[in-house]
Amino acid sequence: MENHPILAREGWLHIAIVIIAAVLVHYFGGWLWALPLWVATVFVIQFFRDPPRTAASGAGVLVAPADGKVIAVGEAHDPYLKRQATRISIFMNVFNVHSNRSPIEGKVMEAWYQPGAFVNAALDKASEQNERNALWLKTDAGEDIVVVQVAGLIARRILCYVAPGQQLGRGERYGFIRFGSRVDLYLPLGSNVAVSLGDKVQSATDIVATLKR
């Protein structure tokens, strides 16, 4: 299990700002004027919560890279490795934990950042039009996995902390997206998908697929 703050470091400044604003307005203007800011404080704190997770284990197992709802499952073109692949897309609303975790252990072969639009991340076109950051992972068995952070309607910051050449463990935290977004997984065709449309998944702990052996 990881040892890291329960509240994501990416949110410390935001949390401090909204708490200070609420305290000042409460002190000088009273609780009624400060009430919207206290509500905002609760929202910001819950958004940046980041509980530790223990990754599911098993040969060839891929875990969810994000908390959220499965909104796409099926064959699709992988625009990064130029292949047909099995795609699994997970939509994160503003009430989900927004840290991102590696779906499987592997070496980061390449990373691609693409600026773009900020349409609703639940729409399929978001995978091609929105701001996004993709990682190509190669497992010890030589399988190629692509995991893509996609910005959403109000998401304005994709954070990724790894670079080509680094090794990631299954379920290891590698990035964060602020305020509503999605993550796409591109897997080799023939992978055994373990989720269906509409399923709610939790990063690291829930299995979304198993690589074909």
Q: Where is 97: in which H helix or E strand? A: none
CA separation, residue 37 to residues 30, 44, 86, 127 (Å): 12, 10, 44, 34
pTM comes to 0.85
pLDDT at 74: 95
Q: What is the mean pLDDT of the chain?
A: 88
In which band, very low, low, confident or very high, does the pLDDT at 1 lie, cut at 50, 70 and 90?
very low
Q: Which two tokens stand for residue 116?
A: 């773009």
- Which CATH architecture fits 61-210? Distorted Sandwich (2.70)
Interatomic CA distance for residues 37 and 2, integer angstroms = 32
Catalytic-role residue among 99, 102, 127, 181 = 181
pLDDT at 11: 79
Q: pLDDT of 134-192, one tens digit each?
A: 999 999 999 999 999 988 665 557 889 999 999 999 999 999 887 668 899 999 999 99
181 is catalytic: yes
